[in-house]
Amino acid sequence: MFKYKIYDLKIISNISLSDIEEYNFDSKEDIKIIANQYNNAKEIVKDSFIIKNDIFELVIKDIGIFNIVENNLNIYYFKETRNEEISLYILGTCIGYFLYKNNYLPLHGSSIYTDKGAVFFIGDSGYGKSTILNLFIKKNYKMISDDVIALKKINNEIIVFPSFPRSKIWKDTANKLDIEVDNLKQIYKRLDKFSYPIPKNLFFNSTTKPYIIYELLHYDIDKVIIEEVKNKFEIVKRLYKNTYRLTLMNNLKKNKLQFDIITKISNFIKFKKIYRPKNYNCIDELVILIEKDFLSD
Amino acid sequence: MISYNSIIHVNCNFISSEVDNELFLMSLENNAYYGLEDVGKRIFEIIQKPISFLEIVEILLNEYDIDKETCINDLREFLLNLEKENIIKISN
């Protein structure tokens, strides 16, 4: 069996998770992954997702079936399915489900470490969260997480947990970062997303506190505007909206947890909106602006 | 309907949390969020125990620089809003 620790969740698995380093522990696991090959791939004609009461079943055509019962994640993959494809789903929606179950609040966003604490980039898909993360990594900032930020309240404080040293990027981002796209593993065929490992020294493998949140927004303007949100109700609303997979949260009845963590974090967090033109391609400039903003704040 | 003798009860089906000077409420029935500031927050504090409309008016007149008529009108409107959102019950 393989052992891992992701966002402080201890995992044992009969398959390896691609690019993730093993972590040894003796205590009881939080998640047990059992993956088996399934031969009736032809039976699955379309993707589906059922989450209801205690049932969690994610069916992805050409990849497999992900089924969660209590702490067990059972996977039925097909002969042609690649390990990194399975890993993508384990580390995405399935981990999201276990995060809620273990009282973490996941936000949809990326995060880097600074001396003052964690800087978050939240916003809708395709708005540049991962691109910005990768450009900061290039500037030697350490990554905390990509796509899912995990928060937990411990001793009345909000703590940010590190994910795993791996980043998802869009194809054009990879080009921009001078990484050979063809050498990367293409893991999410239909969405054209790519994943690549982050060097160990550029991964922040420890907990920290949230410091500042940037929400990325597209707008019909001709230059970048960074604007601080002072109204607490607005901050609460925007954090609510950027909570990861609200369906999972509602289903697991974690609304209280969400309310508790969001209102707690809104008390001290700096929250800024970044408006940028729709067809903006000076992303390097944007990164410089953001860096200047959080260094001077 | 609200009269001077109406008793205001807070519905228990929600949780609250303070953010700076605002009070946030979440309904446990429909998970809706509400925010209360300044006077609204103070009124909410006052009605934690069942209390009559007139008693609330008296407390507010003591604490705030406001005339009785405005106080009664604004308080009535505020409480009716809370009732509409199922945050309080008003009994006569």
Give the residue extent of every domain in chain B.
7-12+39-91
The secondary structure element, H or E, covering residue B61 is helix B53-63
Q: Which of A153, A156, A233 to mutate to test the interface with B (most CBs of B within 10 A)?
A: A233
Beta carbons of B22 and A255 less than 8 Å apart: no
Query: Cβ contacts (< 8 Å) between B24 and chain A: which residues?
Result: 233, 236, 259, 263
Q: What is the pLDDT of residue A142?
A: 97
Higher-confidence residue of A111 and A45: namely: A111
Look up the CATH architecture of domain A105-297.
3-Layer(aba) Sandwich (3.40)
Q: Is the pLDDT of residue A112 over 70?
A: yes
Which chain B positions have a beta carbon within 8 Å of A232's beta carbon?
Answer: 19-20, 22, 35
Q: Least CB-CB distance to A266: which of B15, B19, B28?
A: B19
Q: Does A16 touch chain B (CB under 8 A)?
A: no
pLDDT at residue A198, as a whole number: 87
Rounded Cα distance between A17 and A38, Å, is 19
On the question of pLDDT at A116 being above 80, the answer is: yes
Q: What is d(CA A143, CA A166) in angstroms, rounded to the nearest whole number?
A: 9
| ipTM of this predicted structure | 0.73
pLDDT in tens, A159-175: 999 999 888 765 444 44
Mean local confidence (pLDDT), A285-297: 93
pLDDT in the model for residue A63: 84
- Residues in A 68-127 with any Cβ partner in B closer than 8 A: none
Q: Per 3-state DSSP, what percentage of chain A is helix, strand, and coil (rounded to 5)?
A: 30, 35, 35
Edge-to-edge strand order for the sheet containing B88-91? B51-52, B7-10, B88-91
Position A187 pLDDT exceeds 80: no
Phi first, then psi: what are they for B33, rounded to 5°?
Answer: -105, 145
pLDDT, one tens digit for every residue, chain B (92 residues): 789 999 999 987 888 898 888 899 988 887 888 888 889 999 999 999 999 999 999 999 999 999 999 999 999 999 999 999 888 999 98
Q: Which of B18, B20, B31 sits opposite A255 (nearest CB)?
A: B31
Q: How far apart are CA A265 and CA A55, in angstroms?
A: 31
The whole-number pLDDT of residue B5 equals: 93
Q: Using CA atoms, how far apart are residues A197 and A200, in angstroms rounded to an integer?
A: 9
- For residues A112-141, give the mean pLDDT: 91
Q: d(Cα B3, Cα B92) in Å, to the nearest integer?
A: 7
Instruction: Compare B20 and A41 and report the one with higher pLDDT.
Output: B20
Q: Give the pLDDT score at A95.
A: 93
Chain A environment of B35 (Cβ under 8 Å): 232-233, 236
Angle at A120 between CA A238 and CA A32, to 5 degrees: 95
Instruction: Nearest chain A residue to B30 by CA: give it.
Output: A255
Q: Decide the pairing of beta strands A210-219 and A270-277.
A: parallel
Domain definitions of chain A by residue range: 1-102, 105-297
> pLDDT value at position A194?
54
Cβ of B26 and A267 within 8 Å? no
CA max distance for chain B: 37
Structural tokens at position B27: 């309904």
